[in-house]
Structure 1
Amino acid sequence: MTQPTLIRRDGRHLAIALNLAAGHVPVLPLRTGKGPFGNCPDCTGNACGGRPNMKTPGPCVCPRPCHAWAAATIDPRVLTSPAWATAWRGAGAVGYHPGGAGVTVVDLDAADAVAWARTTLPPTRVVATTRGEHWIYRGAMRSANKVRPGVDIKSAMSYARWRGPGTGLMTPLPLAVLTLVEREESTPAREAVDSSTPTRWDRSVATGCRHTPAFVRTGLDTGIGRITACREQGAGTAAYGAARFLAARHTACPGPCGLDAIAEELIAAAVSVGVPAPYAHRCVTNGMNAALGAVA
């Protein structure tokens, strides 16, 4: 009689991790209770300097899964290495780095939060969790906790627990999610404004555009006006909206349409009223990608 094969827990989690990594999703082992493994003695207190993909880059070359989300990788040689074996043996779950996979997870941790999402956010891929749902959108952004009751945003510099592929079609990151964290991010010191001059849109960069220069400039000037009118808050949202609207006008053009130059002007407008340059760039890029159906 054939005996059933017993699959060790570390083998099951590692198999899931390798499958995700093959799909370009950076993964890491999580402890029982879904927390990351603690740093090794050499990395305790960030004594090693941190990993290069953390907020403060450092020289860490530790082979172990230290530094939580920053250790996430798609390299099967690292995932199956002896240095990671102990962590896999003690793992209770598989984690992944949403921002590294180019997605954003809206973590809805209560029934009221799920109800809010269903009436506020556009449909996308949904993954059931123990207490609520993960809504996953295509496109990365800044992570933030408690953006509203029972709602966390997990994307850049964060990790999420893998709970399966979910159901539904993944859709582009919407303005409604970007807006949840904009107020916190769009209040830099005024002296930090980048005053570089952007490339101006003209026919020389739009040889395949089907629109007249007057049509494009009118739309662009209108978008810039809406952005620069938001001097206290909302400029990032306005930049996203303007980029999405303008890019949508060019979906039927044979191209090129000079969208890079248009984006530079929108980014410069947002920066001029105090939006941090990296965030302005993300808002405009996500807006254009939402209109063009591209992966952010």
Structure 2
Amino acid sequence: MTQPVPIRRAPGGPLLATALDLAARTIPVLPLRAGKVPFGNCPACRDNACGGRPNMKTPGPCHCPRTCHGWAAATTDPATLTGPAWAPVWEQAQAVAYHPGGAGLTVVDLDHPDAIAWARQHLPATRTVATTRGEHWIYQGAMQSANAVRDGVDIKSTMQYARWLGPGTSILTALPDAVRALIVKEPPSVRAVQHAVGGSAPAGSGQCRHRTPSYLDRGIAMAAQQITEASSAVHATVYRTFLAVLAAHGRCGCLADAHVGRLFAAAQAKGEGPRHCQDAWTNARTRLGL
């Protein structure tokens, strides 16, 4: 009697097949283990044995030849996906994730029915993917990621990963301003800014040389740009920038509400809360004895 031929599973199984299919469509992917946690992409970093921190741009305390943690591990290179570092990983993986920003996409992660109802009322329809608790709304275009932009709503794009849950339904829509606006916090009120600055210029200080647009406005623009371009250690960058601005302009009374509001808005756009901005400003003033 002829023995049945055993069915051979492809190395890596269906998750690797999915990853390779996505990579062929220029969507950077990575495997996730239980709990939606990434693997490292080198043997020394597997299971974060080296102490590397997921979601960070750099590997942390280890000395990897390349970035290999969290979203930064995502790749479209089939040789990496099937290579010796990741070949055994796919057998343990629980899901495939992808880097939306690397694919030029933004995912609006809606975590519960109320968040979905809000999105249907305020955001344009686009491609939708069902999740365990809610939906992913996917838009064409990348932006800065941010968590908890409102109750049950996260933005996953650059420097972030999202689970691959299927191609979804409906047509992909261009990233609208309504989504970009979700990460922009309101600038502090005029009253709050006046309190932070410490009031108007001292009486009798006269016309300050910093009031000229070629000096003050350029300095504020450069300070806001420095905050905006910070890719890590945002809180420290905000504090150092506030300190530099106050060192240059804090004693002559030339800072107006609009100047400080612009700095606070830049910091809040990077994820700093109003309280963090206020604390950083106050600490900088205290450091300078203002």
TM normalised by structure 2 equals: 0.59
**Alpha-carbon separation, structure 1, partners of 2:181 and 2:36:** 28
**Alpha-carbon separation, structure 1, partners of 2:23 and 2:187:** 31
Report deviation, 1:274. Answer: 6.4
What's 2:166 paired with?
A: 164
Does the CA contact (< 8 Å) of 1:52 and 1:60 recur in 2?
no
DSSP 3-state at the match of 2:80: helix
**Alpha-carbon separation, structure 2, partners of 1:107 and 1:89:** 28
CA-based RMSD of the aligned residues comes to 4.1
Counterpart selection for 2:64 from 48, 56, 60 = 60
What's 1:103 paired with?
A: 105
Q: 1:231 to 1:127 in 2, by over 3 A?
A: farther
What's 1:242 paired with?
A: none
**Alpha-carbon separation, structure 2, partners of 1:67 and 1:184:** 33
Report deviation, 1:89. Answer: 1.1
What's 2:117 paired with?
A: 115
Q: 1:231 to 1:123 in 2, by over 3 A?
A: farther
DSSP 3-state at the match of 1:94: strand
Report deviation, 1:119. Answer: 0.8
Deviations 1:233-277 (A, max 9, x none): 7xxxxxxxxxxxxxxxxxxxxxxxxxxxxxxxxxxxxx899648x
**Alpha-carbon separation, structure 1, partners of 2:21 and 2:222:** 42
What's 2:221 paired with?
A: 193
Q: How does 1:191-230 map to 2 (within 5 A)?
A: 193-194=221-222
DSSP 3-state at the match of 2:17: helix
Letter of the 1:134 counterpart = H
DSSP 3-state at the match of 1:82: coil
Letter of the 2:78 counterpart = P
DSSP 3-state at the match of 1:112: helix
**Alpha-carbon separation, structure 1, partners of 2:112 and 2:47:** 37
Does the CA contact (< 8 Å) of 1:40 and 1:66 recur in 2?
no
Deviations 1:145-193 (A, max 9, x none): 111111111011100000000011111111111111112899xxx9562
TM normalised by structure 1 equals: 0.58
DSSP 3-state at the match of 1:164: coil
Counterpart selection for 1:133 from 132, 135, 143 = 135
Letter of the 1:22 counterpart = A
Does the CA contact (< 8 Å) of 1:125 and 1:169 recur in 2?
yes
Does the CA contact (< 8 Å) of 1:30 and 1:95 recur in 2?
yes
Which of the two has higher C-alpha Rg? 2
Report deviation, 1:51. Answer: 11
**Alpha-carbon separation, structure 2, partners of 1:185 and 1:45:** 38
Letter of the 1:152 counterpart = D
Letter of the 2:50 counterpart = T
Does the CA contact (< 8 Å) of 1:145 and 1:153 recur in 2?
yes
**Alpha-carbon separation, structure 2, partners of 1:42 and 1:126:** 32
DSSP 3-state at the match of 1:89: helix
Q: How does 1:1-296 map to 2 (within 5 A)?
A: 5=7, 7=9, 10-37=12-39, 39-40=45-46, 44-46=50-52, 54=58, 60-61=64-65, 66-183=68-185, 193-194=221-222, 275=266
DSSP 3-state at the match of 2:174: coil
Report deviation, 1:60. Answer: 3.2
Deviations 1:39-88 (A, max 9, x none): 448972349xx9996599x97325xx931111100000000001101211
Letter of the 2:94 counterpart = G
**Alpha-carbon separation, structure 1, partners of 2:59 and 2:123:** 29
Does the CA contact (< 8 Å) of 1:93 and 1:162 recur in 2?
yes
Give unmatched runs, 5+ long, in structure 1. 196-229, 234-270, 280-296
Q: 1:42 to 1:106 in 2, by over 3 A?
A: closer
Letter of the 1:181 counterpart = I
**Alpha-carbon separation, structure 2, partners of 1:126 and 1:173:** 14
**Alpha-carbon separation, structure 2, partners of 1:150 and 1:51:** 20
Letter of the 2:139 counterpart = Y
Q: 1:108 to 1:23 in 2, by over 3 A?
A: same
Equivalenced residues, count: 204
Q: What is the percent sequence identity of the aligned residues?
A: 53
Report deviation, 1:36. Answer: 1.2
**Alpha-carbon separation, structure 1, partners of 2:107 and 2:175:** 10
